[in-house]
Amino acid sequence: MSYVDEVLERVKAKNASEPEFLQAVEEVLDSLRPVIDANEETYRKEALLERLTEPDRQFKFRVPWVDDKGQVQVNTGYRVQFNNAIGPYKGGLRLHPSVNTGIIKFLGFEQIFKNSLTSLPIGGGKGGADFDPKGKSDREVMAFCQSFMTELCKYIGADVDVPAGDIGTGAREIGYMFGQYKKIKSTYEGVLTGKGLTYGGSLARTEATGYGLLYITQELMKCHGESMEGKTVVISGAGNVAIYATQKAQQMGAKVVTCSDSTGWIYDPDGIDVALLKEVKEVKRARLTEYAAARPNAEYHEGRGVWQIKCDIALPCATQNELLIEDAKQLVANGCKAVCEGANMPTTIDATKYLQENGVWFIGGKAANAGGVATSALEMSQNSERLSWTFEEVDSKLQKIMVDIYHNIDDAAKRYGHEGDYVMGANIAGFEKVATAMIAQGVC
């Protein structure tokens, strides 16, 4: 039995109740087969895969807090410190009722490779709680965040583990957590990223994931003799990633004709009006029907459907499993050339395979949306220097990082005889750096 299969069996036996973690490990190890097979003897002797699939440590803790009626509530908090071979643990805090050990482990495992791809010194971690901020008052959210940080602060630090936002954890939650960390530790340090601009946050962090997605997409097109100029782009979502992806695509001369939210989608043949979209979503926090009402040529449709619109480039930027096999078939039939993922895991495995097999250039989220975490690492650098860089400085570093990621994943795929398989290239490029560091640091 190959080393990969042996480890997969062991991981399955040990983590049977964590399906998301198993799925992530299987996907990554499967695509690493060429590099593992080529170094099987060394990696087996080092037990490299066993060490890579076992977190350095994980914490699970009680989070009691008092709601507005005076009732005590109890949630479960998590932090998984997966691998710090190349830098302090780094990864977001997800606040959502679905959060459990398996989900945090899956996200932490994936984060190791994504963070490695950025070329910055950050290891992989993830955390969160089964708390739902939706419908809670500001005071309740603060009470939860303070209780959560009262325990979490024992395990994190600017050189140890630097959490960030994720689903349910935005600027408000990061602010409350940062305040509590500071109060307990009496230390002002860059222990969290995604902070407000007045207390150590980075310019361009808000735009980073969407802009970064377009920088890597532009490089992909350029390396295939194409440009963004005049291209029709279809984007899903209307949140942070989608809005800034739309803005940057239009600055590059492309026309973005769709956006969507969890209830419906817009087709605007004149090109999405970003200022209006920001007003509807960021200011009024309203539905997309308000966008359609203000644009005479725009159509609003209930449900999902952006992938049926003819396009050159498709950028899923909403949520997981939103681009299905039938959508992939429609995109191919309509002559779509490239799909790059702004969201995490938006394309199902069968849809990804179909796109790749039918000649669509496909870059997965691990590489394509790494601009967010990369800019978080730039926030860490600014905090350490006690300096703030200008928007242009951060943006130009982000641009270089994304272009470098493209060439790294492209080169890695070519080196192992899988030219054009950017999913495999991303896993290999992310893995190689971590594996080399782990071996150099001995058995630990």
Using CB under 6 A as the criterion, which residues of the chain lie in contact with ligand NDP when the complex forms? 209, 237-242, 260-263, 317-319, 322, 342-344, 369, 372
- Distances from the Cα of 141 to the Cαs of 61, 79, 114, in angstroms? 18, 19, 30
Angle ∠(373,374,380) on CA atoms, nearest 5:
90
Q: How far is the CB of 170 from ligand NDP (least distance, A)?
A: 8
Residues serving a catalytic function are 126
Nearer of residues 318 and 412 to ligand NDP, judged by Cβ: 318
Q: Would you say 317 or 355 has its CB closer to ligand NDP?
A: 317
Distance between CA atoms of residues 202 and 379, nearest Å: 5
Q: How far is the CB of 246 from ligand NDP (least distance, A)?
A: 11
210 versus 425: smaller Cβ distance to ligand NDP: 210
Please give the distance of CA 29 from its chain centroid, rounded to a whole number.
19
* Residue 339 half-sphere exposure toward CB, CA atoms < 13 A: 35
Give the residue among 354, 365, 349 at the shortest CA–CA distance from 330. 354
Indicate the residue among 369 and 382 with the shorter CB distance to ligand NDP. 369
Q: What is the DSSP letter of 114?
A: H
Which is closer to ligand NDP, CB of 62 or CB of 284? 284
Closest CA relative to residue 307, chosen from 237, 210, 213, 229: 237
Distance CA 423, CA 352 (A): 9
Between 218 and 240, whose beta carbon lies closer to ligand NDP?
A: 240
In the complex, least distance from residue 239 CB atom to ligand NDP, rounded to whole angstroms: 2
**Helical residues (DSSP H) of 81-167, grouped into ranges:** 101-117, 138-152
Q: How far apart are CA 296 and CA 278, in angstroms?
A: 18
Return d(Cα 90, Cα 113) in angstroms, integer. 11
Minimum Å gap between C-beta 128 and ligand NDP is 12
Closest residue to ligand NDP: CB criterion: 239
**Conformation bin of residue 169: beta by default, left when phi > 0, alpha when psi is -120 to 50:** beta
Q: Which of 97, 88, 103, 84 is nearest to 130 (CA)?
A: 97
Long-range contacts of 226-232 (CB under 8 A, 24+ apart): 226/337, 227/253, 228/252, 228/253, 228/254, 229/253, 229/254, 230/254, 230/255, 231/255, 231/312, 231/313, 232/257, 232/310, 232/311, 232/312, 232/313
Instruction: Please identify, using beta-carbon distances, which residue of 238 and 355 lies nearer to ligand NDP.
Output: 238
In the complex, minimum distance from the CB of residue 277 to ligand NDP, in angstroms, rounded to a whole number: 10
Q: Cα–Cα distance between 345 and 319 in angstroms, integer?
A: 7
Sign for the CA dihedral angle at 85, 88, 91, 94 comes to positive
Cα first-last separation, the chain: 26
CB of 69 to ligand NDP, least distance (A): 27
| Pairwise CA distance, residues 262 & 20, whole Å | 23
Cβ 369 to ligand NDP shortest distance, Å: 4
Nearer to ligand NDP, 146 or 281 (CB): 281
Kindly state the smallest distance separating residue 351's Cβ from ligand NDP, in Å: 15
